[in-house]
Amino acid sequence: TQEDTGEGGTYARLAELGHKPVHFREEIRSRMPTKDEASQLGMSAGTPALLICRTAFTGDGRSVEVNEMTLDAASYVLEYDFDA
């Protein structure tokens, strides 16, 4: 409920409450932004938006956070590093 969640951020506060996130899932989509999104993000005409929905889970599979983000696709690089 506060803008500044303190050192360690939201995940540190969840851990203090016994709900430490240990697994994350992200769903990524792209589409053209709405007029409001383009205006708020200062996007150039014709630039798509990236939509990311991140869910954080505890060790027992309980979801403890859902974060929906809308990004200017021309301003971000998404990088994922994982083992085969």
DSSP the chain: --S---TTHHHHHHHHTT----EEEEEEEEEPPPHHHHHHHTPPTT--EEEEEEEEE-TTS-EEEEEEEEEETTT---------
Task: Report which of 39, 74, 69, 35 is spatially closest to residue 54, judged by C-alpha positions.
Answer: 69
Q: Is residue 14 part of a domain?
A: no
Q: Is residue 58 part of a domain?
A: yes
**Per-residue confidence in pLDDT tens, the chain, 84 aa:** 667 888 989 999 999 999 999 999 999 999 999 999 999 999 999 999 999 999 999 999 999 999 999 999 999 999 988 887
Q: Is residue 56 part of a domain?
A: yes
Domain of residue 49, CATH code: 3.40.1410.10
Q: Is residue 11 part of a domain?
A: no
Q: Is residue 5 part of a domain?
A: no
Q: Is residue 12 part of a domain?
A: no
Span 3-25, pLDDT tens digits: 788 898 999 999 999 999 999 99
Q: Is residue 45 part of a domain?
A: yes
Strand, coil or helix: 65:
strand
Q: Is residue 84 part of a domain?
A: yes
Q: How many domains does the chain have?
A: 1
Report the Cα 48 to chain-centroid distance in Å: 17
Domain coverage including residue 33:
21-84
Give pLDDT, residue 2.
66
